[in-house]
């Protein structure tokens, strides 16, 4: 069994991750980052883990020089693909085609800043969301447990942020 932590769109200039995400990083066998670290410093910190990563559209030049735009790898007999973004013009069908083009079972992608789990043409598509800059969602990541070619995807809220607002702070005025 392998535990994969999937993240994307951290958009950080320095290493300031939510405590829950740091704990999850320490417990993961593999970390995948679907782009937009933003800074090389943050990318290098993620590199201290067993990292598979691609460049995003907001990454520093140094990150883009070091990382590819797409990547494939295998875990427990399943083929994984990693990209930052698709065209999103028709409900993720372009990413389904990208998964077929890469010949992968699971495609992890970013750019949306919100969690997505879809199956298209037998391909599992996962966007873990953003743990630090969510859009129209809460701050999140995805845990992918692979056991003998079986996949279990778990959605995790990592801090009380909704669209960049501190949820607890906003709730104080509602009581």
Q: 165 pLDDT exceeds 70? A: no
Residues 6+ apart with CB under 8 A from 119: 125
pLDDT tens for 48-104 read 999 999 999 999 999 999 999 999 999 999 999 999 986 555 567 889 999 999 999
> What pLDDT score was predicted for residue 175?
38
Closest CA to 155 of 140, 137, 174: 140
> What pLDDT score was predicted for residue 149?
83
pLDDT tens for 109-148 read 999 999 999 999 999 999 999 999 998 889 999 999 999 8
> What pLDDT score was predicted for residue 171?
45
Mind listing the domains of the chain with CATH numbers? Answer: 2-172 (3.60.21.10)
What secondary structure letter does DSSP report for 57?
A: T
> What pLDDT score was predicted for residue 89?
53
Which phi and psi (to 5°) does residue 167 adopt? -60, -45
Rounded average pLDDT over 143-166: 86
């Amino acid at each position: 069994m392998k535990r994969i932590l999937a993240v994307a769109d951290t958009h950080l200039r320095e290493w300031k991750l939510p405590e829950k995400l740091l704990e999850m990083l320490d417990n993961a066998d593999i970390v995948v980052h679907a782009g937009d670290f933003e800074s090389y410093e943050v990318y290098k910190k993620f590199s201290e883990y067993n990292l598979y990563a691609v460049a995003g559209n907001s990454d520093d030049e140094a990150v883009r020089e070091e990382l590819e735009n797409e990547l494939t790898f295998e875990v427990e007999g399943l083929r994984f693909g990693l990209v930052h973004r698709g065209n999103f013009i028709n409900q993720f069908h372009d990413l389904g085609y990208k998964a077929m083009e890469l010949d992968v079972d699971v495609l992890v992608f970013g750019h949306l800043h919100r969690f997505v789990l879809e199956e298209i043409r037998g391909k599992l598509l996962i966007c873990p969301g953003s743990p630090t800059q969510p859009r129209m969602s809460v701050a999140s990541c995805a845990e992918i447990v692979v056991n003998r070619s079986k996949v279990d995807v778990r959605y995790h809220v990592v801090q009380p942020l909704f669209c960049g607002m501190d949820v607890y702070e906003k709730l104080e005025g509602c009581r």
